[in-house]
Amino acid sequence: MVPRELFLPQVMWPSTGQGYITVSKTDDPEEWRRWADADVPIVTQWDDGHHIGTTPGKLATSSSSMPSAVFSMFADLSVTDGARVLEVGTGTGWCAALLSARLGEQNVVSVEVDETVAGCARKTLAAAGWHPEIVTGDGLLGRPDRAPYDRILVTVGVHEVPRAWIEQIRPGGVLVMPWGTRYSGQNAIACLTAAGDGSAGGHFTGATRFMHVRSQRLDWPEFDDYLPGEGWPADTRRSTTGLPAAQIVDESDYAASNFAVSLQIPECARTFARSPQGVQTIWLFGLGDLSWAAVFFDEDASADSRVYQGGPRSLWDEVEAAHRWWYGQGRPGHEEFGLTVTADGRQQVWLGEPSTLVPVR
């Protein structure tokens, strides 16, 4: 038994689904314990540790993941007695404790990039009676002197799978990680098996959201770089779309459609907004150039919505084509997609089987 509450700070910021709230164990121990036991993610650090005060900061940079997500990833990891495990992203130390309780602390090594977070985890683990190796360093490099590993558990999102992880896992070993493109904040859990030839591959097991490894965070585009000045640029291309907002932002399988689109348009970032009149808007920004698109969805679902695009790519046309492809494939969910990291480091996403690659636009 390894209670999560042993690894949570005195002041923490649980997610309510509508935002984050501040909860203090000193001020309200019952409320603190209620949130500690809740199946929600809890932020434990803001702004890479530069945050001051008790109100939520700007950017969540360390957290305790919701228990259901942790247990789902542990099920994917499928450890066996005596397995040697590398964890990337120590955080509070709770996952390292769970692994130590199952496998023995001598079989667990965890890497944390933030020195303060790592130090707190060591102290908390020791207070709880566990002493796995906690390393302060770049988790993308793994921990080569303890390799090979039977399992690697990654608890931060990545866009690019580092070679070190593939090299440090034994043939037949399993790598479980949140993976996604820069299109949106959504990830999916990838469960990859090392083939022994420098490659690894496997299916995604479900949708998730994790904060990303610091060196792979999206450097969010500056709006004025794409649309300088006031009004639409002279070369703006205007059109309409019959694709309703419901199929983009709130349909029942939105997570699956969003993921499928993101796989096809990886070099694009998307965000939502509302006009002063309350009109739902989507903005798209090309990451390799200054392409952009804006779609103002008409509240009347039967009416076409306004589309504005600029730059060398027509990003909204690409999104529409990606949605059509997804519908044409029968609206597949996350579990029907998979990821292969080839021996030369290429990432290939596929549908159904590795030979059926997802088109990249």
Catalytic residues: 62
Token output for 15: 């997610």
Residues in the chain: 361
Secondary structure of 306-337 in the HEC alphabet?
A: EEEEECCCCHHHHHHHHHHHHHHCCCCCHHHE
Backbone angles phi, psi at 245, to 5 degrees: -60, -35
Give the C-alpha separation, 279 to 298, whole Å: 7
Give the C-alpha separation, 118 to 193, whole Å: 28
DSSP strand pairing (347-351 vs 337-341): antiparallel
Backbone angles phi, psi at 117, to 5 degrees: -60, -45
Q: What SS3 class is residue 14?
A: strand
Token output for 166: 């593939």
Helices (H), the chain: 29-36, 67-77, 94-103, 115-128, 163-167, 223-226, 254-264, 315-328
For the chain, helix, strand, coil in percent to 5 are 30, 30, 40
Give the C-alpha separation, 279 to 211, whole Å: 29
